[in-house]
Structure 1
Amino acid sequence: MDSDTLLGDAGLAADVADEFDETSADEDESLPPDRYLDREVSWLAFNQRVLELAEDPKVPLLERANFLAIFASNLDEFFMVRVAGLKRRIATGIAVPTNIGRAPVDVLADMSEKAHELQARHAAVFRNEVKPALDAADIHVEAWSDLGEEDRARVAELFTAQIYPVLMPLAVDPAHPFPYISGLSLNLSVRVRNPKTEKTEFARIKVPPLLPRFVQLPDDGTGTTRFIPLEDLISNHLEYLFPGMEILEHHEFRLTRNEDVNVDEDESENLIKALEKELLQRRFGPPIRLEITDDMDPVTLELLMRELEITEQDVYRLPAPLDLSRLFEFGKLDRPALRYPAQLPTTASQLLQSEPNEEPNVFDAISRGDILLHHPYESFATSVQAFLEQAAADPQVLAIKQTLYRTSGDSPIVEALIDAAQAGKAVLALVEIKARFDEQANISWARKLEKAGVHVVYGLVGLKTHCKLASVIRQEKNGELKLYTHIGTGNYNPKTSRIYEDLGLLTADPQVGKEVTRLFNELSGYAIEKKFSRLLVAPRYLRKGLLKRIDNETANALAGKPAGIRLKMNSIVDEAIIDALYRASNAGVPIDIWIRGICAIKPGQPDYSENIRVRSILGRYLEHSRIFWFANDGSPEVFIGSADMMHRNLDRRVEVLVQLKERGHLREISRLFDLAMADTTASWHLDPDGEWTRHSRNATGGLLVDLQTKTMRDITARRRSR
């Protein structure tokens, strides 16, 4: 799956869909046993919030279509990983109770019920709201029955010239076994009858995934932009594929398979080769979901269920068209009035030169003080990308070290590393080839880097390297070696940096540089680092460091000192962290949690969480940064980094948080939280019973403040006032 095409891609979903976690906390008898929310139901509630944006008529029309596509793509990955993982564990008898103590089979039933409900609602939004609105905006998704004779003749020419040669009908009979159905492929089931023998046969046609899903129709002179789904076009030209046969039935269906990958690193002599072997097996994972059009005849459905070994629970009956993730294709339409207003990122004010024609120098700017970057409001290209490109070209730079988790298909970051290596600099790239759904792309990048002379390593056995680090070693004019460091919350991906909200720190602080150097040594060689000063590093120290700070806030509150905790994350599930927050709440610590995805915390519960508030913000940008703010008796400690509060992040990944020191940066983070948690800001509120309620309008019906729009305006105004 191409992460560049998804707002979660790998963006909204892969980040939150991972292996099942086991409880990490010792039972706290002072807290009630039902103190957690189910993580799977919470994930589905997150995707429901995405769907609510598609349902909102105040959201620009093509953005609503985009949110429909995001929802569909998210749910695909949820089935491929979360549902598939649970099914595998149930089948093998190794499933353990969930984080709320429920039996896995019961959780699976709940997940299925909610997924059926959401998919039906998703299809209804497209059919009843978005499609009519597209029609009203002169963007028509036509059915074959809508076309006149002239249109049909022109489409027939298009079909025979561009589509028919690519199609491969596959018969099913004693000489032709039931064909392999690949995961996420859209297919046509066709039943035909031989008029000579009266014998009925079954065939399958795969809708070519490399062709546009919505085929643009020729201009009919009305100025209307018109499309027809590719499968509808194929369905109405079946006589080309089965000449002489009588077409009895034809229906669409789509299959989802288990596409998780597991590699035993301890037993593997060559990680890349082992992973490539597993990737070949991924496409043959067992089926876990069958989507069919709601008019499919019982005979065809029975055949599919039998051959694919699918249960009734796994069948999703939906109105055509299936696979609305391909609504992403409408993003190519040049209709700016139907989109969010354009917002151009600015260059961070600290990176601007004093003279307009002066050549920017990132190293000089960093030397003047730490720079806190906020993407996409501040440009990734003129900050992080420029930092690495200048490092590659600067003859004073001796070495570059960087982690790569996900990057774009034509990444200037990777090209900068290649240029640096070819210029004779020492370059180390730690490529995480186990990044889900980006495995093959990362293997390709790793090999390209190696061929260019970059030292490529793959981190530590048993751990994913998820931290976002770049280190540049530069010899200054006085002969001194100086370390320039970037630590971020998001991937080194120029494409997703335009739609992912992330924070990053550029610093020349010697302590940070020293600690990051030691960490790179541990990741690429053999080293044991026992102490960090400005960093919190998983899996060894991060949970301990955060628990220590939460407990400190608890103690301060009990002592009558200033106390408070503010957290921004994608997901929070870890029981040890949650229980510590509950104890802090009991002590009177006000706790604000700003979450995007999974949240297992029950806020506002008497006796253990009444001082906890939880908000979620979704919009044009994907909220992706992680922030950890502790009042610390009036001297706030603030960290940013790559880790969510999930077992995988704390126990099975290399994650890094860095402490912010500049007072201006601390004030900026506080302002951001003030805005996010304000009742005048549009957001979803998590209720004590686990329900998310959207708050988008005030008491008089006016729209509440959009955090992302206001943040862009504030940052732009700040630059103008410089």
Structure 2
Amino acid sequence: MNNKFFNRELSWLAFNERVLLEATDPNLPLLEKLKFIGIFSSNLDEFFMIRVAGLIDQMKSGYNKRDLSGLTPSDQLSKIREKVLALIKKQSDIFSEILTKLNKEKVFFNLDYDLFPIDSIFFNEILPVITPITISPANPFPFIHNLNINIFSTVKKDGEIFHSIIIIPGSLKRFFIFQQGESYYIFLTETIIQRFLKFIYPNFEIVESFLFRITRNADLNFHSEEVEDLYKEIQNSLIKRAVGSPVRMEVLGRFQKESISMLMEEFELNEDGLYEVNEIIDYKFLINIDIPMDKHRYPGIKKSSLNLNKKKFIFNYIKNNDILLFRPYNDLTFVSQMVSEAADDPDVIAIKMTLYRANKDSSIIKSLEKAALAGKHVCVVIELKARFDEEKNLEWAKKLEHAGCIVSYGFVDLKIHAKALLIVKKEKGKIVRYTHLSTGNYNELTANLYTDIDFITSNDAIGSDVVNLFNFIMSYSDPLGWNELIVAPIYLREKLYNLIDNEIENAKKGSPARIIVKLNSLYDEALTLKLYEASAAGVQIDLIIRGICSLVPGVKGLSENIKVKSIIGRFLEHPRVLYFHNKGSYKIFLSTADWMIRNLDKRVEVLFEIKNHKLKEKLYDYLQLNLKDNQKSWILSQNGIYKKQIAKSDRLNLQEEMQKLTFIL
């Protein structure tokens, strides 16, 4: 193996393990622990649908090239399986421990069926919508949808053996909650069905019954040079995703080897694709467990925001003030209200916006529709290839077009990951541009779950660059010059090299040199090597990388001046913030781009410097809080193991500290 780089997939699994282990934090409210177990499951499903599926495709095609860490696809799949088996065992153990604590708090799973009208639930709500399919010449093996939970039963009658499958419809609730006094009882639909199997198969002896779930390849693969209509291509690809080839089969319960062999043959899986689980199959439902026990929930957060009730207040304020919003501690309502006011303002002549992800019933989308119907020029660039939001974005595209918006899908071969909003007003005969740039999406729901940073300004040079950005995306024209934005895939990589090289030169001349970078992921050979070069020159480097990290820190002669930490907490850390010492005249940038090949070479991303002195200080202080966090931080060692950093004195939790601070806009 190459000791200069960690493997991408194993690094990601290490990140998801940190998510799971958050459920073991003794300071975490009990019901919040369940959410982290559910998030772990959701993350793992996507990992198999995309990353594992991709490695399997590579093996099938004969691709045997080694990755940065020196592993072949076969090597990676073997190590992934070993790690995942350990993780799902750890998941069930952690869930069992939490279950014991929940029982003491009078919360129970799948217990005391006789106390409640479970039979009524089964006969009135479940039985009418399920249909057992007994496999026979007249009933071929049914199609099993991706991530659907199913019950496989072997039944016997008059000495004859039958195999039958119950596909549990997605329209059924996954669980039922009953309250009795101060106690809560949670019953899973699949266990209710198994309890009443004798009523589904009357006059049959039930020989065996177990749950199984299939994970399918969900990656959308198409050749960009052959695409004539991206909208239709995405529609067709979504249909193909639904029938993607199986990559994993999970099984829960006692089973006969013959039955498993039958299923594996049907799904064309080998033994490496079989995962036996304990306790529960698919823990994602835990994210949605809603029991009114406030003492076992996170306390609410008080968001700081401006008074938005004054007419035309927002634009008057922005005209005189650059603004930073720190989500979720500041309210994204400011941005929503900004678009709403623009839709109503007769002086607004144009609104331009990129849309990567948005929530259902988005007020921002409604404002864009309203603006277009009022005759304003509204241009929306929708990224149809935003993974697992493709279908939703197709719907937004048609909805906005029907309202009169100009809708573009950007490039076939590049994802539009830049987050930009431009509002153009005519004030006293003069054009004024109001710009919003962000590290996060225009999703009003995830804005309460992800940490992100928004920058809002009326700076004309930035506004001019955002105009160029939309022209670049929609007309494919590269402007003659950019003032403030650095755009991938054209210039961003080169800019990062230049910024790092500047610190290297300063270090070689004996000047203090430092880099602080906060990202979601770092997996890029050239940038990693550049950071090694900087470390060797004496540049002090702190990397705050939430997820994947290919860089090996702390190796003498290679990376001894580099430290890597990951912060996992109540909110998903999502900002990209870059600091370069620059001989004391420090530079701070915000960006939409992680340091990965896909972001720098295969996406439209933006990097922009924050030059306002007060806002620079805020961002610097924010980075210092990240570095000082000693409650939710994990430190990466040179052997690839993350160790939780927990200080018993001088405790500092980044996200709790951010909630205490009032950021005056």
Shorter-chain TM-score category? over 0.9
Per the alignment, residue 119 of structure 2 pairs with: 156
How far, CA to CA, are the matches of 1:91 and 1:161 in structure 2?
47
Instruction: Give 3-state SS (helix, strand or coil) of 1:605's partner.
Output: coil
Per the alignment, residue 11 of structure 1 pairs with: none
The answer as to 2:25 corresponding to 1:56 is: yes
The letter for the 2-side match of 1:133 is K
How far, CA to CA, are the matches of 2:139 and 2:171 in structure 1?
26
Q: Aligned-pair distance for 1:506?
A: 0.2
2:287 is aligned, of 306, 325, 328, to 328
How far, CA to CA, are the matches of 2:139 and 2:224 in structure 1?
39
Per the alignment, residue 408 of structure 2 pairs with: 457
Q: Please say which of residues 74-83 and 170-179 is displaced more in the overlay.
A: 170-179
How far, CA to CA, are the matches of 1:679 and 1:447 in structure 2?
45
How far, CA to CA, are the matches of 1:465 and 1:358 in structure 2?
35
Per the alignment, residue 194 of structure 2 pairs with: 235
Q: Aligned-pair distance for 1:308?
A: 1.3
The answer as to 2:543 corresponding to 1:596 is: no
The answer as to 2:469 corresponding to 1:519 is: yes
The answer as to 2:147 corresponding to 1:188 is: no
How far, CA to CA, are the matches of 1:553 and 1:704 in structure 2?
32
Per the alignment, residue 9 of structure 1 pairs with: none
Residue pair 2:208, 2:254 contacting (<8 A) in 1 also? no
How far, CA to CA, are the matches of 2:279 and 2:69 in structure 1?
37
1:688 is aligned, of 638, 651, 655, to 638
Q: Please say which of residues 678-687 and 366-375 is displaced more in the overlay.
A: 678-687
Per the alignment, residue 26 of structure 1 pairs with: none
Per the alignment, residue 213 of structure 1 pairs with: 174
The answer as to 2:527 corresponding to 1:577 is: yes
* Mapping for residues 232-631 of structure 1, pairs under 5 Å: 232-330=191-289, 332-347=290-305, 351-352=306-307, 358-359=310-311, 361-381=313-333, 383-476=334-427, 478-631=428-581
Instruction: Give 3-state SS (helix, strand or coil) of 1:512's partner.
Output: helix
The letter for the 1-side match of 2:177 is Q
The letter for the 1-side match of 2:338 is F
Q: Aligned-pair distance for 1:263?
A: 2.4
How far, CA to CA, are the matches of 2:476 and 2:189 in structure 1?
55
Residue pair 2:635, 2:645 contacting (<8 A) in 1 also? yes
Q: Aligned-pair distance for 1:96?
A: 2.5
How far, CA to CA, are the matches of 2:610 and 2:121 in structure 1?
59
How far, CA to CA, are the matches of 1:325 and 1:681 in structure 2?
26
When residues 524 and 166 of structure 1 are mapped into structure 2, their CA distance, relative to the original with a 3 A threshold, is: same
Q: Please say which of residues 245-254 and 263-272 is displaced more in the overlay.
A: 263-272
User: Aligned pairs, how many?
Assistant: 665
Instruction: Give 3-state SS (helix, strand or coil) of 2:522's partner.
Output: coil
Residue pair 1:682, 1:697 contacting (<8 A) in 2 also? no
How far, CA to CA, are the matches of 2:68 and 2:345 in structure 1?
51
How far, CA to CA, are the matches of 2:604 and 2:632 in structure 1?
34
Q: Please say which of residues 115-124 and 170-179 is displaced more in the overlay.
A: 170-179
Per the alignment, residue 164 of structure 2 pairs with: 203
* Mapping for residues 19-58 of structure 1, pairs under 5 Å: 34-58=3-27
The letter for the 2-side match of 1:629 is Y
Percent of aligned positions that are identical = 38
The gaps in structure 2 that reach 5 residues or longer are none
The letter for the 2-side match of 1:135 is N
The letter for the 1-side match of 2:175 is F
Per the alignment, residue 142 of structure 1 pairs with: 110
RMSD (Å), alpha carbons: 1.6
Q: Aligned-pair distance for 1:638?
A: 1.2
The answer as to 2:607 corresponding to 1:657 is: yes
* Mapping for residues 702-713 of structure 1, pairs under 5 Å: 704-713=651-660
1:168 is aligned, of 131, 153, 162, to 131
Per the alignment, residue 36 of structure 2 pairs with: 67
The gaps in structure 1 that reach 5 residues or longer are 1-31
How far, CA to CA, are the matches of 2:515 and 2:337 in structure 1?
35
Cα deviation per residue 1:473-531 (whole Å; 9 max; x = unaligned)? 0011x210001100000000000001110001101111100011011011112422243
How far, CA to CA, are the matches of 1:612 and 1:155 in structure 2?
58
When residues 611 and 530 of structure 1 are mapped into structure 2, their CA distance, relative to the original with a 3 A threshold, is: farther
Cα deviation per residue 1:555-612 (whole Å; 9 max; x = unaligned)? 0111122321110100001111111111111111111111110001111110121111
Per the alignment, residue 591 of structure 2 pairs with: 641
How far, CA to CA, are the matches of 1:123 and 1:605 in structure 2?
36
The letter for the 2-side match of 1:373 is L
Cα deviation per residue 1:411-469 (whole Å; 9 max; x = unaligned)? 11111110100111000000001101110000001000000000000002310000000
The letter for the 2-side match of 1:711 is M
Q: Aligned-pair distance for 1:618?
A: 0.8
How far, CA to CA, are the matches of 1:639 and 1:229 in structure 2?
48
Instruction: Give 3-state SS (helix, strand or coil) of 1:161's partner.
Output: helix
How far, CA to CA, are the matches of 1:447 and 1:421 in structure 2?
14
Cα deviation per residue 1:128-160 (whole Å; 9 max; x = unaligned)? x111122112211124xx333x53xx2111211
